[in-house]
Amino acid sequence: MVSRRDRNWSLALLFAAGHRPPSPIGVGLLGYGAIARDHASLIARVGGLRVGAVCDTSGERRELATRELGVPVYGSAHDMYDDPDIGLVLVGTPPAAHAGTVLEALAAGKDVVCEKPFALRVEEVCDLAARIRGEPLATAMLPPGGRDDGSFRPIIVGPQNSDPYPVHGEAIATLGKHFGIALERARCYPYRG
């Protein structure tokens, strides 16, 4: 049986290769603040994704999400994780809540995209790395304004800092073309500090 996580990876690669998946992945926005509202408008422009739900601890923000998006809203993250429509969780809470919520969402079987910073303390990052061992982990940062100015160094690494190019080279090249950013291997891998 193919797990949902494997299915989402396949859909992401198919999308990068120019195919449109038959049913878009439902994204659950955890935190509906300034950056999450930006994400919501960007998600609406991506063929393989759609905003499926919002969770915010603030009733005011939940009302705003209902007005702006018309999707189910939750006051508890666990209720949103129980929603089978949600395949991917986008963590847009304030930084102090990032490490804990990333682990909870992964434990609930969701794919996760986390806003920066990933965590606040080195110990939290080490704990996260140890607990998600074996799970694919990718970090991506686009240049400011989404434009390639040559001084920005994209970094692309696979799980455990492995080289993602032999398997995913074609998809990475397609993504680079999509964003208008040169993502050839010599520029992006390995990370040299």
**Residue 132 near ligand NAD by CB under 6 A:** no
| Shortest Å, Cβ 91 to ligand NAD | 8
Identified binder of ligand NAD from the candidate list 72, 92, 154, 176, rule CB under 6 A = 92
Residues in the interface with ligand NAD (CB under 6 A) total 20
Task: Supply the minimum distance, in Å, between the C-beta of residue 121 and ligand NAD.
Answer: 14
Indicate whether 164 belongs to the interface with ligand NAD (CB under 6 A).
no
Interface of this chain with ligand NAD, residues 19 to 78, rule: CB under 6 A: 30-36, 55-58, 61, 77
* Neighbouring residues of 72: CB distance < 8 A, sequence distance ≥ 6: 52, 53, 54, 83
Could you say whether residue 97 binds ligand NAD (CB under 6 A)? yes
Stretch that binds ligand NAD, among 90-98, 104-112, 129-137, 138-146 (CB under 6 A): 90-98
Exposure class string for 88-112: b at 16+ Cβ within 10 A, else e: bbbbbbeeebbbebbbbbbebebbb
Binding piece for ligand NAD, criterion CB under 6 A, among 19-27, 94-102, 142-150, 174-182: 94-102
Nearest approach, Cβ of residue 106 and ligand NAD (Å) = 16
Edge-to-edge order in the sheet of strand 111-114: 73-74, 49-55, 25-30, 86-91, 111-114
DSSP strand pairing (73-74 vs 86-91): unpaired
Q: Which residues neighbour 90 within 8 Å (Cβ) at sequence distance 6 or greater?
A: 27, 28, 29, 30, 36, 39, 112, 113, 114, 115
Contact residues toward ligand NAD (CB under 6 A) are 30-36, 55-58, 61, 77, 92-95, 97, 115-116
